[in-house]
Amino acid sequence: MAIETTATRARDSKRARLRERRREELLDVADRVIQRRGVEVSMDEIASEAGITKPVLYRHFGDKDGLYQALTERYIDELKTALKPATEASEPRDRLAAAIDAYLVYVEREPERYRFLLHASEQSRTAGIVADFRRRHIAECAFTAEDNLRRAGVHPGFAEPWAECVSGMIRAAGTSWLETRSLPRDRLVDYLTTILWEGFSSLRRATAVGANQHPRGVTHRNGS
């Protein structure tokens, strides 16, 4: 009996691994279709791309919402990975600039995945996943900001509202920049960092200096 039980467990474990691998393969296919067609793809399109029938997709994900939930989790994990190196900068202002740049690099490199996450943040099944990521990220920013605020003579209770402002501004700027690309990425990073760290008065000074350094007609470096 013990041998049969061990064999059964081994067989079940193998089946689970195969099922998980197949599930990841189907997510790869769904991602490929979304990259090509955008967020409003059908299960028929995904099944056709995978060379399977829709019931097979339903067997793995339950329904389209279940598939989109799995993709949201995958994309959030990718965004977390993209943002993590920004925390390694030693100076607070450098960390802020690195975080903004890392976020915009993701927007620039993965526009359809970013659009998917924007869509997911408004859907009942996936909004909680995106909101939880944002809450955790804001909490980390607030924790980092507390000591800096104390040294500046500002009450540390402002850390969380400040982190909310940072997160909201970066998200809004990234969403707008995704569609307009109104200026190079590195310039946008400089402006956002200056506004968030030093305020609009400093931005006006920096812009004036920049205008003197870059006369009309001179091409700026790009942000790629």
Q: Start-end ranges of CATH 1.10.10.60 in the chain?
A: 2-62
What's the full length of the chain, in residues?
Answer: 224
CATH topology for 73-213 is: Tetracycline Repressor; domain 2 (1.10.357)
Closest CA to 97 of 181, 160, 186, 203: 186
Q: Start-end ranges of CATH 1.10.357.10 in the chain?
A: 73-213
Q: What is the pLDDT along the chain (224 residues), one digit of tens a residue?
A: 445 577 677 676 777 787 888 999 999 999 999 999 998 899 999 999 999 999 999 999 999 999 999 999 999 999 999 998 888 877 888 888 999 999 999 999 999 999 999 999 999 999 999 999 999 999 988 887 887 777 777 788 888 988 898 899 999 999 999 999 999 999 999 999 998 888 755 545 555 555 555 444 334 444 43
Superfamily (CATH H level) for 2-62: Homeodomain-like (1.10.10.60)
CA–CA–CA angle 102, 108, 110 (5° rounding): 95
Whether 55 and 46 have beta carbons less than 8 Å apart is answered as: no
